Amino acid sequence: MPHDPITDAALDLLRETDAEVADIIAAEGARQATTIELIASENHVSPAVMHAMGTCLTNKYAEGYPGARYYGGCVHHDQVERVAQDRAKQLFNCNFANVQPHSGASANAAAFLALLKPGDTFASLVLSDGGHLSHGLKVNMSGKWFNPVHYPLHYDENHPQFEQIDYDAVKRVCREHQPKLLMCGYSAYPRVIDFKLMREAADECGAIMLADIAHIAGLVATGVHPSPFPHAHVVTTTTHKTLRGPRGGLILSDDEEMSKKINRAIFPGMQGGPLMHIIAAKAVAFGEALRPDFKAYCQQIVANARALAAGLSEHGYRITSGGTDNHVMLVDLRARDQNLTGADAERWLEAAGIITNKNGVPNDPRPPRVTSGLRLGSPATTTRGFNETDMHQVAAWIDEVLAAGLTGEDQLARTSQRVRASVREMCDQHPLP
């Protein structure tokens, strides 16, 4: 774990009370400090954000909203929530922000509760092509309580937008099914989203447009990716990916009536007392994102993602859709070797200190627990100060490990040990915040 007097003191205090848990936390800190994090949905928060999470604000119930609480003693909680709201509105240039959702999935569920009735139809991307479980998975609330219909990517390999959103199909699906809500924004989509075209499709059938920008929120806030406003009626997001804040959710809008419905859907519709220590950390993260250097950080996220994608392409891997415009890429491992699976790749790379997650690629014939691909992202490495040269080196290490794994266990063990040592050296050169 990187040296931080406040964190070190907190762990020492915890160790006096519960050495077992303190040791686990310390071990996790060491793991993060000495491995390369390439999971697209993860990042490393600043010490200020981390410290805000561990404060006395956790001791208070604050059901309701600023100025309208159901408990006394909330004066400072009102203040910190208003700061978070104001900074979020400034960051995304909108008029309304609810900072209370516990997660992105909670934010989506609240939006559905506010805007739909059970059984209503909504449209989203085919989930196996990059959607999220809260976008209509049958075992999720969104798929159980509502009626999801799906629009596809371009599947024709000869089409110039192969494996990118088929906006004509979006319109066809909306005309055919007349959904009450059209959802865009994805969990594993590497290209710019045309929010204007999405709004046109929504308007044709009278649908509400909801943009889930959980992955690209930091890029949107800094103008590195186009904003869903003014096109989207409602925007949901997490706060912990490219936005580099604590784990949590956020709902944004410019529509006053929808905003009132969303407030009621969060409380009392779905949640009781908000997590005020997390809201304080959100406020700190939003403040960091409003600084000029955060835009440079987001620009570097994209540059690093493109460098990693290019490096992997040079080693014979296929990047779905041909590249990336944001922080994420889907790597089709079959181009390197038909026998290579995402599950094997994830396991082999972790042994070498490179942390990834297996992920299906469009039209993947393998099941979700196996997959033919990896989803990789650059936010966490960029936080540590990696540049394009570093990302090309990471691509080379990935190929070394996977090639060794295909050769056999003995070769894999030797290669993993050697790469692990090199990864530690690079991590020492780029310490955590």
User: How does strand 249-253 pair with strand 234-238?
Assistant: antiparallel
Residue 261 and residue 111 in contact, taking contact as beta carbons nearer than 8 Å:
no
Low-confidence ranges of the chain (pLDDT < 70): 1-3, 5
User: How does strand 373-377 pair with strand 328-332?
Assistant: antiparallel
**Cα(36)–Cα(33) distance, integer angstroms:** 8
Residue 378 and residue 304 in contact, taking contact as beta carbons nearer than 8 Å:
yes
Q: Can you give the pLDDT at residue 2?
A: 54
Q: Can you give the pLDDT at residue 228?
A: 98
Q: Can you give the pLDDT at residue 8?
A: 82
**Cα(148)–Cα(166) distance, integer angstroms:** 18
Q: Can you give the pLDDT at residue 4?
A: 73
Q: What are 249's strand-pairing partners?
A: 238
Task: State both tokens at 360.
Answer: 């299906």
Residue 120 and residue 170 in contact, taking contact as beta carbons nearer than 8 Å:
no
* Same fold yes or no, 56-289 and 294-429: no
CATH number of the 294-429 domain: 3.90.1150.10
**Cα(71)–Cα(62) distance, integer angstroms:** 6
**Cα(234)–Cα(251) distance, integer angstroms:** 7
CATH number of the 56-289 domain: 3.40.640.10
Q: At 245, is the secondary structure helix, strand, or coil?
A: coil
* Residues that are catalytic: 61, 63, 212, 238, 241, 247
**Domain boundaries in the chain?**
56-289, 294-429
Q: Can you give the pLDDT at residue 3?
A: 61
Per residue in 257-287, pLDDT tens? 999 999 999 999 999 999 999 999 999 999 9
